A and B are shown apart, each in its own frame.
Chain A
Amino acid sequence: MIFGRPLRKAITGISFFLWLGSVALAAVDAPPAPWTVDALVALLKEQREPSMAFEEATYSSLLTEPLIVRGLLRFTPPATMEKAITDPFRERYVIEGERVLFESERKGIKRTISLEDYPALRGFVDAFRASFTGDAVQLQKVYAVTLEGTRRQWTLLLRPRETTGQSMVDYILFTGSEGRVATIAIRSQDGDRSVMTLFHGAPR
Chain B
Amino acid sequence: MIRRFGVMGLWALAMACGLWLVTTEVAVHSELADLLPEGTTATQRLLLTQVRTGIAGRLMLLAIEGGEPEVLAQASREFGQRLRATGHFDMVGNGAQALTKQDQELLFRSRYLLSRHISPDAFSVDSLRRALEQRLDDLRSPLASLIKETIPGDPTGEFLGILKDWSGQEGPAKHRGVWMSGDHSKALLVAETTAAGFDADAQATVQQDIRKTFEALPGRPASLRLLMSGPGVFSVEIKQTIEAEVWWLSAAASTLVLLFLLASYRSVALVLLSLIPLSTGIVAGMLAVNSWFGFIHGITLGFGITLLGIVDDYPIHLFSHLNVRGSAPAVIRAIWPTMRLGVLTTVIGFSSLLLAGFPALAQLGLFAVAGLVTAALVTRWVLPACVPPAFVPRDVPRGIVPALAQLTRAKLLVPAAVILAAFALLWSDTPLWQTDLASLSPVSEAGQRLDQQLRRELGAPDLSDLLVIEGQTAEDVLQRGEAVMSQLEQLRASGIVAGYDLVSTYLPSRRSQQARQQALPARSVLEDNLQAALTGLPFASGLFTPFLEAIEAARTQPTLDRDTFHGTALGMKLAALLFEQQGRWIAVVPLRGVADRPRLSEAVEGWQAPGVAYVDLKAESNRLMTAYRDRTVAIVLWGLLVIAVVLAVGLKSIKVLWPVLLPMMSALVVVAALVNVAGESLSLFHVATFLLVIGLGLDYALFFNRPEGAGDERARTLYGLLVCSTTTILVFGVLACSTIPVLHAIGMTAAAGSFCCLLFAGMMAEKEPAEDV
Contact = CB atoms under 8 A, between A and B. Distances in A.
Contacts of B773: none
Given A67-B538, A192-B145, A60 B174 contact: no
Contact of B143 (A61, A65, A121, A189): A121
A64 B539 contact: yes
Interface string B131-143: 0001011011111
Contacts of B538: 63-65, 67
A64 B139 CA distance: 13
A95 to B, nearest CB: 10
Contact of A190 (B148, B151, B152, B177): B148
B146 A118 contact: yes
Contact of B137 (A93, A107, A116): A107
A93 B139 contact: no
Contacts of B543: 62
A62 B134 contact: no
Contact of A116 (B134, B176, B541): B176
B140 A69 contact: yes
Given A120-B145, A188-B145, A63 B539 contact: yes
Given A63-B540, A106-B137, A114 B145 contact: no
Contact of A124 (B142, B146, B175, B176): B142
A117 B177 contact: yes
Nearest to B143: A120
Interface in A60-95: 60-65, 67, 69, 85, 89, 91, 93
A60 B144 contact: yes
Interface residues of B, number: 24
- B136, B145, B146: residue with the most chain A Cβ atoms closer than 10 Å: B145
Contacts of A67: 136, 139-140, 538
B148 A192 contact: yes
A97 to B, nearest CB: 12
Nearest to B139: A60
Contacts of B540: 61-64
A20 B151 CA distance: 72
Contacts of A65: 538
Contacts of A114: 173-175
Interface in B139-181: 139-146, 148, 151-152, 173-177
A168 interface: yes
Contact of A120 (B136, B139, B142): B142
Contacts of A91: 137, 141
Interface in B190-225: none
Contacts of A89: 137
A56 B140 CA distance: 9
A175 interface: no
Contacts of A140: none
Interface string A96-117: 0000000010110000001011
Interface string A147-165: 0000000000000000000
B175 A116 contact: yes
A91 B152 CA distance: 24
B170 to A, nearest CB: 11
A196 to B, nearest CB: 11
A58 interface: yes
B96 to A, nearest CB: 10
Contacts of B142: 93, 120-121, 123-124
Interface in A15-51: none
B95 to A, nearest CB: 9
Interface in A140-189: 168, 188-189
A40 to B, nearest CB: 24
A157 B87 CA distance: 46
B155 to A, nearest CB: 10
B139 A107 contact: no
B4 to A, nearest CB: 85
A58 to B, nearest CB: 5
A107 B134 contact: yes
B209 to A, nearest CB: 28
Nearest to A93: B142
A43 B152 CA distance: 44
Contacts of B541: 64
A62 B539 contact: yes
Contacts of B177: 116-117
A4 B368 CA distance: 138
B161 to A, nearest CB: 13
A61 B139 CA distance: 11
A107 B135 CA distance: 11
**Which of B139, B141, B174 has the most chain A CB atoms closer than 10 A to its own CB?**
B141
A108 to B, nearest CB: 11
A167 to B, nearest CB: 10
A189 B176 contact: no
Contacts of B174: 114, 116-117
Nearest to A121: B142
A189 B174 CA distance: 26
Contacts of B151: 62
Contacts of A61: 540
Given A58-B144, A120-B143, 6 more contacts: A58-B140, A63-B139, A91-B141, A120-B142, A168-B145, A188-B145
7 nearest A-B pairs in the assembled complex, by CB-CB distance: A124-B142, A168-B145, A116-B177, A65-B538, A188-B145, A63-B538, A64-B538
10 contacts: A58-B144, A63-B539, A63-B540, A64-B539, A104-B137, A123-B142, A168-B146, A188-B145, A189-B145, A190-B145
Interface of B: 134, 136-137, 139-146, 148, 151-152, 173-177, 538-541, 543
